[in-house]
């Protein structure tokens, strides 16, 4: 019974083949592209900048959730999306829009986009995940990545775009990263299955000050005031999106009501001024 329930994660209309091609392979490709952006961008920009820009993915997750998960469009959350985008623009402005740094920012933002698509896709595929489903889906996705990505690595090596020297590879670090990656993705898939993509992204926010401290201690890279403002914009947008839906709706409705009231008062004031003007002109 358990095996049957877990296997649903890999089936599409009763077929494992269709399930792998439709539910697993596209997500695996997204993850592979995101991993490339992840590692390459970290060679171009500081980890603190990278983490702050990546945190904007929660805004993109909300936008995608409106279309894919049918979440309601709420004014205050739209404002949060704009705040997050503003934060990314401020980071780009601080680092400059030219050279390798600009490419690193673009790649980090591409990762944020791919990550948001990846997480919302997981929620669509695994609506009600269990530990068994998450483990099975992670295993299938890992196999798909292994079978589909190695030709790209081979092409890079043959064309001298990225030459791999096997004896020089840091196997200890790679094994540690691989183990942590499996743990991260397993927890991510399970967390998205039982909660929501927006909530599970909260952990990224905690990495901003941590990575900023690491950059300061080990690389002597400082956050200037523009980056601080950008990080605050992203964090504020992040936290606004974590406001429960009912409360967010109440806040948005209250704001709209205040705006309508002021607009009505302005209309009445303009109307009264026109009336006074007409009376004055008539008397004259």
| Residue 138 main-chain phi, psi, to 5 deg | -60, -40
Q: How sure is the predictor about 277, in pLDDT bands with cuts at 50, 70 and 90?
A: low
Q: Which of 172, 89, 191, 200 is nearest to 134 (CA)?
A: 191
| pLDDT for 238 beyond 60 | yes
For residue 196, the model assigns a pLDDT of 62
Token representation of residue 242: 């974590």
Higher confidence at residue 195 or residue 111?
111
Range with the poorest average pLDDT among 35-49, 189-203, 248-262, 268-282: 268-282
Interaxial angle between packed helices 202-219 and 225-241, expressed in degrees from 0 to 180 and rounded to the nearest 10? 160
For residue 99, the model assigns a pLDDT of 62
| pLDDT for 276 beyond 80 | no
For residue 39, the model assigns a pLDDT of 82
Q: Which range has highest mean pLDDT (17-26, 201-210, 221-230)?
A: 17-26
Say how far apart CA 223 and CA 238 lie, in whole Å. 20
| pLDDT for 1 beyond 50 | no
Task: Report percent pLDDT > 90 for the chain.
Answer: 0
For residue 112, the model assigns a pLDDT of 85
Q: Which of 140, 152, 118, 143 is nearest to 27 (CA)?
A: 118
**Mean pLDDT value of segment 191-201:** 63
Higher confidence at residue 194 or residue 49?
49
| pLDDT for 38 beyond 80 | yes
For residue 280, the model assigns a pLDDT of 45
**Mean pLDDT value of segment 255-280:** 64
Q: Which of 35, 158, 56 is nearest to 113 (CA)?
A: 56
**Mean pLDDT value of segment 40-52:** 80
Say how far apart CA 122 and CA 137 lie, in whole Å. 10
């Amino acid at each position: 019974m358990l095996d049957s329930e877990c296997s649903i994660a890999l089936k599409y209309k009763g077929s494992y083949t269709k399930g792998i091609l439709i539910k697993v392979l596209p997500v695996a490709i997204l993850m592979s592209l995101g991993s490339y952006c992840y590692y390459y961008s970290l060679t171009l920009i500081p980890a603190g900048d990278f983490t702050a820009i990546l945190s904007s993915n929660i805004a993109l997750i909300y936008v995608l959730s409106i279309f894919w998960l049918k979440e309601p469009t709420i004014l205050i959350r739209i404002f949060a999306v704009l705040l997050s985008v503003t934060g990314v623009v401020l980071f780009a402005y601080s680092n400059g829009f030219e050279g390798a740094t600009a490419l690193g920012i673009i790649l980090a933002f591409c990762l944020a986009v791919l990550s948001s698509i990846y997480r919302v896709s997981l929620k669509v595929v695994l609506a009600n995940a269990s530990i068994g489903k998450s483990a099975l889906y992670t295993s299938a996705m890992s196999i798909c990545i292994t079978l589909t990505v190695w030709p790209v690595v081979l092409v890079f090596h043959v064309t001298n775009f990225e030459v791999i020297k096997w004896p020089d590879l840091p196997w200890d670090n790679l094994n540690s990263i691989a183990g942590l990656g499996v743990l991260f993705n397993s927890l991510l898939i399970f967390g998205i299955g039982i909660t929501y993509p927006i909530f599970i992204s909260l952990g990224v926010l905690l990495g901003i000050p941590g990575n900023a401290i690491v950059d300061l201690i080990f690389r002597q890279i400082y956050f200037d005031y523009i980056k601080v403002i950008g990080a605050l914009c992203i964090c504020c947008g992040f936290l606004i999106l974590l406001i429960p839906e009912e409360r967010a709706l109440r806040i948005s409705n209250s704001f709209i009501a205040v705006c309508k009231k002021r607009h009505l008062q302005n209309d009445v004031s303009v109307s009264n001024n026109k009336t006074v003007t007409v009376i004055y002109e008539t008397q004259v």
